[in-house]
Amino acid sequence: MAISNINQLLIRNLEAFAATRPLLVNIADDGFIAQYLVQHNVTQLDSYHSNYAEYQAAKRIVNPRIKSHFCVEYQAKNQHDMAIIHFPKSKAEFSFTLAMLAQSMAKDATIIIVGENKGGIKSAEKLSSEYLEFCHKVDSARHCLMYVGKFKASLPHFDLQQFYKYYSIKVQEKQLKIAALPGVFSQNALDTGTEVLLAHLPKNMSGKVLDFGCGAGVISAYIATVYPETKLSLVDVSALALHSAQTTLTLNQLTGEYIASDSLSNVQERYNFVISNPPFHQGVKTHYAATEHFLAQIKQNLHKNSCVTIVANSFLKYAPIMEQAIGKTQTLAIEKGFAIYQCELNNKIEKNN
């Protein structure tokens, strides 16, 4: 596996990262963690991830000196004397991360922040001013920057609820309340792709429904409101998204099953309907692999009379993948720059048009 630019920058500073109990925050493992443990051979390392795929990769490291964590809110049992943070794609998520970590850090702990130039890292100093006494650039390489900082004393106790954004939407005469944490897709408003998808859902949905890449739970909340007899499974790779989706459904007096999964890795059941506004961005780069893998593998989780409906930017050619992997696929609509693709295994599903 090629070592990422961010981790190359970290590796060249390994000697400076001496700590007794450091915390890695959303640092993807491609060899850096192993090198860190060799360089600092008495360190007890914790690796926290809000991304389930990265968490699984860290868990595969066989070393008793590392503990991996996947959750929406990290809380340390023993305070850390250093944190190395991957600057997230969402600037609001950066503030969320700093606020969350403050209570888990020892006094005078060193805070390292790394990220790609085009990923927003240049705003780290300004964005961290509420939480850090200082935030200074200390190195740059491979189109990436590294900052060092220190937490202010006596920061407020972290309250997850204060970072939620709430808004209401009205879809096909149905009023829904939406809740989303920073970094979750459509945190501030209903996105156009989902709006188009909800107007072209299959009619008379029943049985088990899989919402792949559930985000804040908008799709599932609408389906459960219109078709209350359905049994919903909401899947996402993000701990923040899953917590948001659960909050959204609770706000609307709805329930579902919430599955953290790297694509379909933890999806075990078969479904009557699969609905998705699948992600095609990872970090700051366009990334299709997760969606293409989902479409290529989803047939194993379908009943014989199932229906798969997705929305995608119209320039993304997912229809041929669905045709080959699942079955005959039709384009239901192309609206506002988005296409609705549907594959019906029995070709008898009635649509809402």
Please name the residue that has the structure tokens 């669905």.
Answer: 322
Q: Which amino acid is at 2?
A: A
Query: What one-character DSSP code corresponds to residue 19?
Result: -
Domain architecture of the chain: domains with CATH? 5-159 (3.40.50.150), 164-344 (3.40.50.150)
Q: What is the per-residue pLDDT for 166? A: 97
Give the number of other Cβ atoms within 10 Å of residue 124's Cβ.
25
Cα 44 to chain centroid distance, Å, stands at 27
Q: What is the per-residue pLDDT for 350? A: 46
Q: Residue 32: which residues within 8 A CB-CB, separation 6 or more?
A: 3, 7, 10, 11
156-176 residue pLDDT tens: 999 999 999 999 999 989 999
Q: Length of the chain in residues, anyone? A: 353
Question: What percentage of residues in the chain have a pLDDT greater than 70?
Answer: 95
The Cα 66–Cα 43 span in angstroms is: 9
Q: What is the per-residue pLDDT for 284? A: 41
Q: What is the per-residue pLDDT for 280? A: 65
Q: What is the per-residue pLDDT for 115? A: 97
Do residues 252 and 231 lie in contact, with contact meaning Cβ atoms separated by under 8 Å?
A: no
pTM to 2 decimal places: 0.94
Q: Residue 127: which residues within 8 A CB-CB, separation 6 or more?
A: 91, 94, 95
230-287 residue pLDDT tens: 999 999 999 999 999 999 999 999 999 999 999 999 999 999 999 999 976 544 444 5
**Segment-wise mean pLDDT, segments of 10 residues, the chain, 353 residues:** 90 96 95 92 95 94 95 96 96 97 97 96 97 98 97 95 96 95 92 96 96 97 97 97 98 98 96 92 56 93 96 90 95 96 74 52
